[in-house]
Amino acid sequence: MNKSQIKKAKLRIKNHQFTGADFFGNAYAIIERPKEYCVIHYKLIMQFANPTLRNLMPYPGLAIALLFTIILLITLYFLSLQFSNKIKRELNKFSFITQKIEDKDLDFEVQNSYFVEHQKVMDSLDSLRRSLKKSLTCQFEQEKNKGEQISALAHDIKIPITVIKGNAELLSLTQKDENALDYTNEIMEAAGEIEHYTELLIETSKNDQSIALHKEKSNVNKFLHVIEKDTLSSIGNHHIHFVLDISIPKELMWNIDFSSMKRAFMNIIINALEHTPDETSLSLQVHLKNNLASFVFTDSGNGFSPEALKKAAELFYTDNKSRSQTGHYGIGLTFADKVIRAHNGTLHIQNDTYTGGGQIVISLPVEL
C-alpha cells in the first residue's frame, strides 16, 4: 500500500468503517486485534466471466463510461447541428424579407417563425412592408399624375406658341420697317426657344420605359462628327474653342436611337456653353475601356456647387448659387439622363480636378 492508501485505511479505522470501497474500486477489509489492526486492501473490478472477453476488454466499466461519453458527445453535436440549422433557416427568413424590401419587391408573404421572439420581429417587418408598399404605391401614383399633368400642360402650351410663331413668320414676310422686323425675329426666336423647351418637357415627363427609342447600329465616330458640327453652329459668334479628342477605333459601332442620343449630347453641350466664358474652351474627350465608351464633357465655368452635384439631373433644378440663369431651366440634363439610362448607360456629374469647371461623364456600351 502506498502512503495515500495507508492514510485512507487509518481514516477508516478512526471512523470504525471496517469494510467498504471507494469510487475507484479500492476495497478495504479491516480486522481488529487486541493491539493492532489487520488491513486487507484489494481491488473491486468488474470483469467479464468469459476469458476471451476478459482479455479483449479487461476494464469493461471504463469502456462503458467511455462509450457513454462518446455517445453523449455525438448526441450533443447532432443536437447542436440541428439547432444551428434551425437558427439559420430562421435567419434566412429575415434575409429574404430585408432583400425583398431593399429591392422594393413588396408583393410577398412573410413566413411564420418557430421562435416567439423571432415571430414578433417578423410581424414588425410585415407591418413595415405593408406601410412601405402603401407609401410607394402612393408615390408612384403621384409621380404618374404629375407626369401626365406636365405633359398635358406642355401640349396645351404648344398650341398658342405655334400660333405666335406662325403669325410672327407672316409678319416678317410683310414687314418693311427694320426695327419692327428685328422685333418680329426676336419673337420668332423666343417662340422657338419655348417650343424647344416644351418638347423637352414632354419627353422628360415620361417614364424611362415610355421614351420612344428606334435603335439602329451606327458608327460612333460619324456620330461625334455630327455633334462637332452642331456644336460649332451653337457656338456661333462666341469666342469659345471647342476641342474634340477622340481616342477610339474608327470602326467602333453602337446600337442607339440616333436622334434621341444627338439631342441628349447637344443638351449637355448647350448647357455647358451657357456657362463657358468667351476666350475659353469646351472639350469632349472620348476613350474606350472594357466595351464601354466614355464621353467626358468639360467646360471652363465655375463648376457645380455641392447641391448641384446631387440634383443637377433633376427636373427643373437650376443652380442659382454658382451657375448663371441664361435660359437654362433644368430640363436638358434630365432628358439627357433619361436617354442615357434608356441605352443602358450612366451619366455622372462632377467638377474637373484641375480646372474646377463643370464636368459630365457618360458611359455607354459599344460593339468592337
Across the range 112-126, mean pLDDT stands at: 83
217: its cell numbers: 447600329
In the predicted structure, residue 324 carries a pLDDT above the cut 60? no
Alpha helices, H only, the chain: 3-14, 51-56, 60-102, 116-174, 178-204, 220-235, 258-274, 306-311, 332-342
d(CA 254, CA 340): 13
User: What is the side-by-side order of every strand in the sheet holding 19-21?
Assistant: 19-21, 26-32, 37-43
Q: Does domain 119-206 have CATH number 1.10.3470?
A: no
If we measure between CA atoms, which residue out of 338, 335, 326, 330 comes closest to residue 308? 330
Across the range 153-170, mean pLDDT stands at: 78
Query: In the prediction, which pLDDT does 32 show?
Result: 79
d(CA 348, CA 336): 11
Percent of the chain scoring above 70 in pLDDT: 87
What residues contact residue 260 under an 8 Å CB cut-off, 6+ apart?
A: 211, 213, 339, 342
156: its cell numbers: 396645351
In the predicted structure, residue 127 carries a pLDDT above the cut 90? no
- Asked whether 286 and 293 are in contact (CB, 8 A), the reply is yes
In the predicted structure, residue 358 carries a pLDDT above the cut 70? yes
Query: In the prediction, which pLDDT does 348 show?
Result: 92
Q: Which of 125-139, 266-280, 347-361 has the lowest mean pLDDT?
A: 125-139
- Is 276 in a helix, a strand, or coil? coil
d(CA 340, CA 257): 10
d(CA 195, CA 204): 14
Query: In the prediction, which pLDDT does 141 show?
Result: 83
* Most confident by average pLDDT, 36-40, 84-88, 246-250, 351-355: 246-250
Query: In the prediction, which pLDDT does 302 show?
Result: 87
In the predicted structure, residue 178 carries a pLDDT above the cut 90? no
Across the range 38-59, mean pLDDT stands at: 78
Position with higher pLDDT, 239 vs 206: 239
CA distances from 262 to 58, 239, 257 (A): 95, 23, 8
Query: In the prediction, which pLDDT does 257 show?
Result: 92
- Residue 306: band (very low, low, confident or very high) from pLDDT cuts 50, 70, 90: confident
In the predicted structure, residue 325 carries a pLDDT above the cut 70? no
210-365 adopts what CATH topology? Heat Shock Protein 90 (3.30.565)
In the predicted structure, residue 229 carries a pLDDT above the cut 80? yes
Position with higher pLDDT, 368 vs 83: 83
Q: Is the pTM of this model over 0.75?
A: no
pLDDT in tens, 204-227: 666 544 566 889 999 999 999 999
Q: Sign of the CA dihedral 169, 172, 175, 181?
A: positive
In the predicted structure, residue 340 carries a pLDDT above the cut 60? yes
